[in-house]
Structure 1
Amino acid sequence: MSNLFQPFKLKGLELKNRVVMPPMCQYSVPLKNGIPTDWHFVHYTSRAIGGTGLIIIEMTNVEDRGRISDFCLGIWSDEHTPAFKRIIDECHKYGAKVAIQVAHAGRKAEEAPNPVSCSPNAFNEKSKVPHELTTQEVKEMVEKFKKGVERAIEAGVDTIELHGAHGYLIHQFSSPYTNQRTDEYGEDKFLFGKEVIQAAKSVMPADMPLIMRISAVEYVDGGYGLDYAVEMAKVYRDAGVDMFHVSSGGEGPIGSAGRPGAHPGYQVKFAERIKNEAGIPVIAVGKLDDAKLAEAVLGNQEADLIAVGRGILGNPYWANNASLLLDGKPLMPKQYERATY
């Protein structure tokens, strides 16, 4: 059996293979209430049927003003939980495990009347100047993350991913480029992230691992590089993170926009270094749609899991096709097996 289709275990999370569907925003909540719809139900269930081992539901925000757009998902109310549960329960029927990416867009909440951040600096010239959260408001935000994680657990997730990448709120606090505070959350740029991690762990089952997505490089003048990201990973590991999902960008042009060049596997070296220096499992992501490349990354022990974004977005059966290519074995239900011969 190929490396890609070997099972994987981390604490109480057991995956049937190492294929991950990373969180990809659908911008498909027509009533703007943050509640998943039939679109999300079909979207995620299709990927479970297609053989994906771990499905991470898209960026799901802990308050209304934390969404990128009014059409993004939310988890700030108990009213959200049943719709997520319906999706998760259905995905489980096909052997997939499911996470929700719990998040807040901070200053990158494009449609929020009054976006918030660690410091009152707009993302770009087209963005609103965010309200600088007071020290007390930061502590209240930690509680909102905690409640969001609680609701995700009530919905039946197998693991949680915190979004600490791509220039969103946790990333904003973590980065010297965006965090110019003078209080305790400025003196320790990682304090907000640590408190969110600890709050999440306080309500998670002891055997449920916590994943965190981070940006390894910022691609902006004055932004941090990989050395800083390694130190950040060590701090967040010690706070309770069990696995990192290693991406890049968010405060400047993201890697897929051409810096340093979005070649296949362009972020793998970031994941490998964090895996080795922080001594923690990692998910590699970024133009890994070629199954043979994904297999090589695992075979070379550069990462533990492979996130396939565009490939799975365009083909719900990417995992099945990769299994046929690498192992000659279909993953699809028996109703579809005639498609393989």
Structure 2
Amino acid sequence: MKTFENYKLKNMNLKNRIVMPPMCMYSSDETGIANDFHYTHYVTRAIGAVGLIIVESTGVSENGRTTDRDLGIWDDKHIDKLKKIVDGVNNYGSKIAIQLNHAGRKYTGTASQAVAPSAIKFDEKSTVPKELTKDYIKEIVLNFKEAAKRADKAGFDAIEIHGAHGYLIHQFLSPLSNLREDEYGGDIKNRTRFLKEILEAVREVWPKEKTIMLRVSAYDYKEGGITINDMVEIINEIKEYIDIVHVSTGGLIPVEISAYPGYQVNFASTIKEKCNIPTIAVGLITDVNMAEEIISNGRADLVAIGRELLRNPYFVLNEAKDRNLDINYPEQYKAALK
């Protein structure tokens, strides 16, 4: 099965095509430092043979987190515990990335006021964010750059820049949340400028042989927002700086979404075809047969399985065993196979 075949991105050789996407655990504290729970959570999925594990949304600044319980990477004090997770995951043959994020107007913590490209709140319950000055924008670009340096020091195999789900980069990309009249607003090229500057800065410090991923929301589910054609244009504008696109949808505004198994796969397929770049498909994919169809038909290169891996950290091992596939089953658990 192609799902269980190796896949190589730059110097990162994945033992299968299954990805654990970043999912917030809200299990740190105001320090943003990873703890024993995070170590157990991620290393358990590595024992379970997941090919690529992406650590949850991690704030590049204190007010870049969604909540005060999210992980952080804005200070060197975060490196040691993250490195422990990286080493643990790598010890079991899995690769590991970290998602770098700034929440923008979705920040709900207590460190400072939320910020955004324009002073438009997320919903009726949210506070009005502070509109970013150009100097503050430059500061956040530097935050991403410094975060990438720390991620490299921690030994991560890849990084993922979070440009989806209504967080700050997405807020700049969408005309629904970006009403700026300077060079960061207006047409698609201007709205993409912030993302492009982040990627340029990150590329200066991230090793050339290591993978850079980008998470995007390819559709805003509201008239006047981002469409798949817009996202193709955005990706083509910045694809020289990235190696793979992790394709999701929504999150910018409160809107009802008709979600069903594989509901986002066509977006990944379109970007793969029209941008000529590898993609990760995600969205209620819970079955290896679904993953196999997506990969074998060339609709995406990797498949992210989130909720099922929360329910069953040994999903990959068990699926391979049930299909009599050759997999390196942990010696300690082989008694269960008799």
The question of a shared fold, defined as TM-score above 0.5 by the shorter chain, is answered with: yes
Distance across 2 between alignment mates of 1:116 and 1:4: 41
Partner of 1:230: 232
Tell me if 1:250 matches 2:251. Answer: yes
Q: Deviations over 1:42-74 (max 9, x none)?
A: 000000000001000000011111111110011
Q: Deviations over 1:282-324 (max 9, x none)?
A: 0000111111111111111100001000011111111112212
Which structure 2 residues correspond to residues 180-329 of structure 1 after superposition, within 5 A?
180-187=179-186, 188-238=190-240, 240-253=241-254, 259=257, 261-329=258-326
Gaps of at least 5 residues in structure 1 are none
Distance across 1 between alignment mates of 2:324 and 2:131: 53
Distance across 2 between alignment mates of 1:217 and 1:325: 37
Partner of 1:96: 94
Distance across 1 between alignment mates of 2:166 and 2:324: 39
Equivalent of residue 62 in structure 1, options 56, 60, 67: 60
Distance across 2 between alignment mates of 1:221 and 1:34: 37
Distance across 2 between alignment mates of 1:193 and 1:50: 34
1:195 maps to a residue whose letter is E
Deviation at 1:234, TM superposition (A): 1.0
Distance across 1 between alignment mates of 2:48 and 2:250: 30
Please give the secondary structure, in 2, of the residue aligned with 1:186.
coil
Q: Is the 8 A contact 1:135 1:183 kept in 2?
A: no
Please give the secondary structure, in 1, of the residue aligned with 2:317.
helix
Q: Is the 8 A contact 1:321 1:330 kept in 2?
A: no
Distance across 2 between alignment mates of 1:218 and 1:163: 16
Gaps of at least 5 residues in structure 2 are none
Which structure 2 residues correspond to residues 147-166 of structure 1 after superposition, within 5 A?
147-166=146-165
Please give the secondary structure, in 1, of the residue aligned with 2:155.
coil
Distance across 1 between alignment mates of 2:206 and 2:319: 33
Q: So what's the TM-score if we normalise by structure 2?
A: 0.96
Partner of 1:9: 8
Q: So what's the TM-score if we normalise by structure 1?
A: 0.95
Paired residues, what number? 334
Alignment identity in percent? Answer: 46
Deviates more, 1:314-323 or 1:266-275: 314-323
Tell me if 1:136 matches 2:135. Answer: yes
Q: Is the 8 A contact 1:298 1:305 kept in 2?
A: yes
Deviation at 1:327, TM superposition (A): 4.3
Equivalent of residue 43 in structure 1, options 41, 52, 56: 41
Runs of 4+ with deviation above 6 angstroms: none
- Structure 1 residues 321 and 58: CA distance shift in structure 2, 3 A: same
Q: Is the 8 A contact 2:281 2:304 kept in 1?
A: yes
Distance across 2 between alignment mates of 1:244 and 1:326: 30
Deviation at 1:253, TM superposition (A): 4.1
2:219 maps to a residue whose letter is V
Distance across 2 between alignment mates of 1:139 and 1:86: 31
Distance across 1 between alignment mates of 2:180 and 2:167: 16
Which structure 2 residues correspond to residues 164-179 of structure 1 after superposition, within 5 A?
164-179=163-178
Distance across 1 between alignment mates of 2:198 and 2:280: 21
2:232 maps to a residue whose letter is V
